[in-house]
Structure 1
Amino acid sequence: MLTVGLDIGYSNLKIVYGDNTEVSPKMIKRPAGAAPLDHLGQRIMGNDDSLHVLVDGKEFAAAVSHDRIENWPRELHKDYTATESYRALFNAGLLLTEMSEIDCVITGLPTNQYLDAELREHLTKIMRGEHQITPRRKVVVHDVKIVPQPLGGFVDWMHGLDDPSQIEDSSVLVVDPGFFSVDWVLLVNGEFKRASSGTSLDATSVVLDEAAAMIAQDHGGNPGRSKLENAVRAERSTVSVFGERIEIAPYLADASAKVGHIACSQIQESLRKENSSIDQIVLVGGGAPFFEASIKEAFAKTPINLAKEAVFANARGFWRGGAA
């Protein structure tokens, strides 16, 4: 059975795919920029690594850094799944698998959007069926499953436990800090507790905006969110401001503390009606390092489990759940 775990984020596109008989699936991460081809800046140094895909017959460049796109809006809103950019990234994900036929695609939605049954049904219809992803390439997707985004991280964490039965009666909080939103789900006795799960918009993009403003205050120039985002993605420790290399770690730490406190307060508020304490917290997603300290402070007595290669945790869990 050929299964694809697809995490189409606001900053990164993550694909985990392979046959369900495989122990270690293939994993790919690309930037989540997408726009019509004529809105892509021409690269004069280095190779053009953009993927060219079709969306309703229109040629798009996909899986590129957002700062390469000109005069095309960055989709940073709750209707992301309804945009052409999202569909271009979906087609790019299919292209990267090199498959012509896929048994099941599993993907996630922010927790509050997952609760919208009409949205789940609409997204399933968009993803299922035959897709003309390039002029000469079609991909058939036979089945689609939509889950709450952090649930992938929970499945991935469970897979790594020596004895999963030890947490059968546990309350597990999965926190997924992404670029657009911080999502969390509470699982008690393995059941999804909707009333205590939710979404905060005080997410990684807000951390980067805050850090950029702090840099501007100290150095007189704002590097902008995109420059910081690219530096974090490439694991660079500095950005250029007026020709000077500025260490970003102190600014990211201060911004993370400020924004993380707000997000953690929202998580705690959603849990106020729970009678029992949280036994385990699983921290997943590309923004996990920004929020780890705040979560440890807010839930000082609860063990925190930071996912290995946290940016892939949800997509890995989607694949593991679909391949099971």
Structure 2
Amino acid sequence: MNVLGIDIGYSNLKLAFGKAGHNPQVLLRPAGAAPADRLGEKISGKAEDDFLRVMVNGNPFVAGLSPDRAELWSRELHEDYPSTESYRALFHAGLLLSELDQVDVLVTGLPVNQYLNPDLRERLQSQMQGEHQVTPRRRITVQQVKVVPQPVGGFVDHVWNLTDASEFEESRVLVVDPGFFSVDWVLISHGELRRQSCGTSLEASSVILDEAAKLVANDFGGNIGRERLENAIRQNQTEVRLFGERIDFASYLKKAADKVGPIVATRLRESLRKENAGADIVLLVGGGAGFFEPSVKEAFPNLKVSTSDLPVFANARGFWRIGA
């Protein structure tokens, strides 16, 4: 059985794919997508090979490139993202990258506030299921689609990799998933989702990057921009250039996270007030986990705070586990 876990984020496209019964392969690509004619031309004239060319509604798109590469095309940063052509282009790119002609089970996630809307869940499920013309000569069929709350994937992935999972299975686990557009959280009690303690905050990684860029501008007189910081982090770089000077941006990210993180931590504490008992464990998943870990630990000083291994892939791996 071919299984695909796909996490189409606002910053990165994450995939986990392969046959059930084996360990999945994982891939990460930037979540930029735009009509093919909006791509800037390389001065060297050499053909690009760092992105994919796909079809969306019969039109050629490029996908899996840095969001700042497209000209006259706005990045999608809103709650209706799954209905956009950019999202569909990334979905088709994910199907291509899986190298599967048929996907028996596809599992994906939605931010918590969107997942709680059954119409949005059903729309995404219907959109992903069926036959897809991903390139002029390639069709890929998706037989079954399951949509889950985004952080649930990270929870399943973490528990799956534990030698002894009894602590997590028997506890009330607050799963916090900091993404680029939103920070989502769910409370899982004895393996069951507590809907009244789920939530979403828009004080996410993009806000931290914007704040860090502003702090750099205050010190050095120019705006490096959110996308340049985002690209540098994705490529594991520690410096960016501004006016010919190399700037180590780690301290600016920390200052920004120290400002934004407590806002989210307050929301987390408020969401647990609806419960008769608080959480026992906090689990951080998602690509922005490192930004928010200090604030979460400060907000819950008496709780064990765990972080998934390679948290950027946690949801996609968990989606694959659910499907397999």
Superposition TM-score, scaled by structure 2 size: 0.98
Q: 2:36 maps to what in 1?
A: 37
What per-residue deviation string (whole Å, max 9, x for no partner) do you get for residues 3-28 of structure 1? Answer: 00000000000010000010x21100
What per-residue deviation string (whole Å, max 9, x for no partner) do you get for residues 147-176 of structure 1? Answer: 000000000011012222333331000000
Q: Secondary structure at the match of 2:50?
A: coil
In structure 1, distance between residues paired with 2:167 and 2:252 = 40
What per-residue deviation string (whole Å, max 9, x for no partner) do you get for residues 248-273 of structure 1? Answer: 00000000111111111111111112
What amino acid does structure 2 have at the position aligned with 1:189? H
Are 1:226 and 2:227 matched, yes or no? yes
What amino acid does structure 2 have at the position aligned with 1:52? R
What per-residue deviation string (whole Å, max 9, x for no partner) do you get for residues 24-79 of structure 1? Answer: 21100000000000011123357431200000100000000011111111000000
Q: 2:198 maps to what in 1?
A: 197
Q: 2:245 maps to what in 1?
A: 244
In structure 2, distance between residues paired with 1:191 and 1:311 = 24
Q: How does 1:15-94 map to 2 (within 5 A)?
A: 15-22=15-22, 24-44=23-43, 47-94=48-95
Instruction: Using the TM superposition, give the Cα deviation of residue 276 of structure 1 relative to its aligned residue in structure 2, in angstroms.
Output: 1.5
What amino acid does structure 1 have at the position aligned with 2:123? H
Q: 2:10 maps to what in 1?
A: 10
RMSD after superposition:
1.0
In structure 1, distance between residues paired with 2:305 and 2:109 = 23
Q: 1:140 maps to what in 2?
A: 141
Q: Is the 2:272–2:278 Cα contact (8 Å) retained in structure 1?
A: no
In structure 2, distance between residues paired with 1:301 and 1:160 = 24
Instruction: Using the TM superposition, give the Cα deviation of residue 92 of structure 1 relative to its aligned residue in structure 2, in angstroms.
Output: 0.3
In structure 1, distance between residues paired with 2:109 and 2:169 = 24
Superposition TM-score, scaled by structure 1 size: 0.98
Q: Secondary structure at the match of 2:40?
A: coil
Q: 2:128 maps to what in 1?
A: 127
Q: How many residues align?
A: 322
In structure 1, distance between residues paired with 2:271 and 2:16 = 31
Q: Is the 2:176–2:285 Cα contact (8 Å) retained in structure 1?
A: yes
Q: Is the 2:272–2:279 Cα contact (8 Å) retained in structure 1?
A: no
What per-residue deviation string (whole Å, max 9, x for no partner) do you get for residues 192-226 of structure 1? Answer: 01111100000000000000000000111110001
Gapped runs of 5+ residues in structure 2?
A: none
Q: Is the 2:31–2:65 Cα contact (8 Å) retained in structure 1?
A: yes
Q: Percentage identity across aligned positions?
A: 58
In structure 1, distance between residues paired with 2:124 and 2:42 = 34
Moved over 2 A (4+): 43-48, 163-169
What amino acid does structure 2 have at the position aligned with 1:145? K
In structure 2, distance between residues paired with 1:168 and 1:217 = 47
In structure 2, distance between residues paired with 1:44 and 1:170 = 57
Are 1:180 and 2:181 matched, yes or no? yes
Q: Secondary structure at the match of 2:155?
A: helix
Q: 1:304 maps to what in 2?
A: 305
Q: How does 1:154-169 map to 2 (within 5 A)?
A: 154-169=155-170
Q: Secondary structure at the match of 1:29?
A: strand
Which is worse superposed, 163-172 or 282-291? 163-172
In structure 1, distance between residues paired with 2:269 and 2:70 = 38
Which is worse superposed, 199-208 or 301-310? 301-310
What amino acid does structure 1 have at the position aligned with 2:32? G
